[in-house]
Copies of this chain bind each other. A is one copy, B any other.
């Protein structure tokens, strides 16, 4: 990880501001010969697109992705799908910004919105594209989602990545009621059928109150073979933690049992093993699929805490650039619970980290 780049062999560099002409990313190190077209990537972008329900920002962006390089349709080297394939060279992806409404933000140009990056950016850079948060806007995550689509091609169909919201505000789902199919039946990626109406009522109330709500997102990858990752600083869980904490508004990351492991005894926490028909089996997954920084073959399970959206209608006390005290309210179009749209982003980060781990593992061990 280095400023705006993530990954070592599968490297993603994102660029772009919320209200600039476009945003995008360059994916370098993608293996050649993988089927990749705009339709495939667009499917992932549509999952995080604004304006899809009243619980996410009403900004209307088509978020149409263009592939500018790194793919080619050669009648001699067709993909399994008969279309264009990656060539092994950098893949440049661009999404044009079409609905910026920059003047919405003019009035908060000089004031620091609490919880936002405004103050920190000014302290660091001395200059700041204040329109919609500029570089610190969650719009940047569209580029990550696009990169995550490429990562999925690297991982192949044998690895399935899924995500859900498991808590909004104080309301946590019942893990026993988990049903992945349910995540498709409500606008919250909620896997607990009984919880969805509670969240709906809670968020309607939150929105009417001019406030916002936090959330916890859980993403999982199944089908990851044992052996990916590396000791000490290139640990798979270390890379995952770094990637997830880099998501806008993320304040916590845990793997497997996570913070709950602190209260367990050694016996409770041990993922005991037995011999199964298809190799080793584990009797629990407190490790979240990673031991010693290396995948074990179990499902990789990661949770991310997302703070409530900092942009709220209600006034909060702050200061201006010049140090004068003001009350700030943010009247732009914002997600009442940014955690919902964080699901496809966290899935994309998981895909990118795993794709990089796969290539590095293959590089070092030949397997």
Contacts and interface: CB of A to CB of B under 8 A. Distances in A.
A308 B261 contact: yes
B4 A231 contact: yes
Nearest to A88: B125
A258 B245 CA distance: 10
Nearest to A361: B124
Given A15-B91, A89-B231, A127 B265 contact: no
A319 B339 CA distance: 40
Residue with the greatest number of chain B CB neighbours at <10 A, chosen from A11, A17, A114 = A114
A359 to B, nearest CB: 4
Interface string A111-124: 01011110111011
Contact of A233 (B88, B238, B246, B297): B246
A39 to B, nearest CB: 17
A215 interface: yes
Interface stretch (A54-62, A179-187, A190-198, A279-287): A279-287
Given A6-B233, A127-B33, A233-B5, A271 B114 contact: yes
Interface in A161-175: 167-170
Contacts of A321: 76
Given A116-B291, A226-B124, A252 B258 contact: yes
B15 A85 contact: no
A22 B314 contact: no
Contacts of A253: 241, 245, 252-254
A127 B74 contact: yes
Interface string A136-150: 100010000000000
B316 A267 contact: yes
A3 interface: yes
A104 interface: no
A90 B15 contact: yes
A362 B170 CA distance: 41
A251 B258 contact: yes
A82 interface: no
A344 interface: no
A51 interface: no
B115 A270 contact: yes
B119 A291 contact: yes
A269 interface: yes
B135 A365 contact: no
Contacts of A211: 265-267
